[in-house]
Amino acid sequence: MKKPRYPFGTITITEKTKKLMKRILDTGMVSGGKHVREFENRFAELIGTKEAIALSSGTDADALALAVFYDFGAQRNDEIIVPALSFAATGNAVLQSGFKPVFVDIERKTLNVDPSRIEERITEKTRAIMPVHLMGKPAEMDEINKIAKKYNLYVIEDAAEAQSALYKGKNIGTLGDMSAFSLYIAHIISTIEGGIITTNNSEFAEILRSLRAHGRACKCKTCVLNVNSRYCSKRFKYNTDVRFIFERIGFSAKMNELEAAVGLGYLGIYPEIFKKRKQNFLYIREKFRKFTPYLVTINPKPYEEMAPYAFPIILQEGTKFTRDELVAYLEKNGIDTRSLFLSMPTQCPGFKFLGYKLGDFPEAEYIGNNGLHIGVHQDITKEHIDYFIALVEKFLEEYQ
């Protein structure tokens, strides 16, 4: 059997990006400027929101979206409801923004937060619900928004892996007060590193532009000083340089021009990337059905379209092999895999101080022990997928 290398992720650097990077480097104007603004405007247009605020990472996108609420009465150590299962960045961002994560178990068949368990975790200190569209699978946003409205809570979509996903005909990224996307290498749209927040609330957007720059009072959507080095009539409105007036506790989380150039290249070929990734996702899902007695994946509901971010795999209960045995076999044969994350509060030692114990989140913990995922990106071919399917068949033969 031929052994093609099957990488988890990829990066597409277009010729347009290379030429744009050269122009940027030639000017020496490499910090966030007109190309970041262009990327923000085009990303907002793609998602269907009024505003998009580009940042240095998807984790910062989560953290800054939460930090907005301090302007509206939130206090340090107020509570944010999040699913127990996610990449650690979700929990990290809550803590980094000064809040306390309150975890809720997930539904095994969706990998997403179980809406029926949310209300029991709400207290007078709860300020927001932050569902995660894990593996590009939309969370049940109607139910979540209904709960949020009942208790007067904000909703932030953690849409890190969900670029292009649809829920009841609406784009993921338009269904909460704000949505946080990751633009990391493995994602459908990338800026190498990077993140971006979408919102229809212009006041939130203005606060976010302040927060990403240390909380400074200089927060116009387009900065004439930064883009064109022109005179700014607002610069000395406080009798000193507005760039050195800090209205709130902020972050250093700006995107630079070179990262924006990569993102603009992606937006230029987004339809082709999405088409290829979706073809790969559907092809591998169809081929994978035969393994159902041993291995399953997650599937969209009739009113959803999953983002083709990656292909999740979950061991069925009672299998005679472990996730790690399967992973070792795949890795030895050139298939690059990733764990399907962990129960943050009970399987990630960094969260131990919060006081949760193993067994508190059985569904998330099951996935933490029995889940993995592989790539479906634009550099994957049918040859790669057929090779992967043949490997799984051969592995399972040993356990029948």
Alpha carbons 181 and 57: distance in angstroms, whole number: 9
Alpha carbons 284 and 188: distance in angstroms, whole number: 17
The string of pLDDT tens digits covering residues 82-128 is 999 999 999 999 999 999 999 999 999 999 999 999 999 999 999 99
Q: Residue 399 above 90 pLDDT?
A: no
Q: Residue 150 above 90 pLDDT?
A: yes
Task: Supply the pTM of this predicted model.
Answer: 0.93
For residue 1, the tally of other CB atoms under 10 A from its CB is: 8
Q: Is residue 226 very low, low, confident or very high in pLDDT (cuts 50, 70, 90)?
A: low
What pLDDT, on the 0 to 100 scale, is given for residue 218?
A: 65
| Residue ranges, CATH 3.40.640.10, the chain | 15-263
With beta carbons less than 8 A apart as the criterion, state whether 381 and 5 touch. Answer: no
* Beta strands at 342-343 and 85-86: parallel, antiparallel or unpaired: antiparallel
Average pLDDT over residues 145-153: 98
**Domain 271-397: top CATH class:** alpha beta
Share of the chain above pLDDT 90, in %: 90
- Write phi, then psi, for 361 (nearest 5 degrees): -135, 75
The string of pLDDT tens digits covering residues 283-334 is 999 999 999 999 999 999 999 999 999 999 999 999 999 999 999 999 999 9
Q: How many residues does the chain have?
A: 400
What CATH topology corresponds to 15-263?
A: Aspartate Aminotransferase; domain 2 (3.40.640)
Average pLDDT over residues 346-373: 98
Alpha carbons 90 and 107: distance in angstroms, whole number: 18
Q: Which two tokens stand for residue 161?
A: 């892996």
Between CA 166 and CA 173, with CA 172 as vertex, the angle to 5 degrees is 160
Reported as type and span, the H/E element at residue 55 is strand 51-55
Average pLDDT over residues 235-261: 85
Alpha carbons 379 and 173: distance in angstroms, whole number: 26
CA distances from 166 to 49, 86, 267, 285, 351 (A): 14, 20, 18, 18, 32
Q: Residue 4 above 90 pLDDT?
A: no
Average pLDDT over residues 256-278: 97
| Residue ranges, CATH 3.90.1150.10, the chain | 271-397
Share of the chain above pLDDT 70, in %: 94
Q: Residue 250 above 90 pLDDT?
A: yes
CA distances from 136 to 131, 173, 311, 383 (A): 12, 12, 10, 24
CA distances from 174 to 72, 159, 164, 170, 298 (A): 21, 10, 11, 7, 23
CA distances from 316 to 45, 114, 297 (A): 41, 20, 10
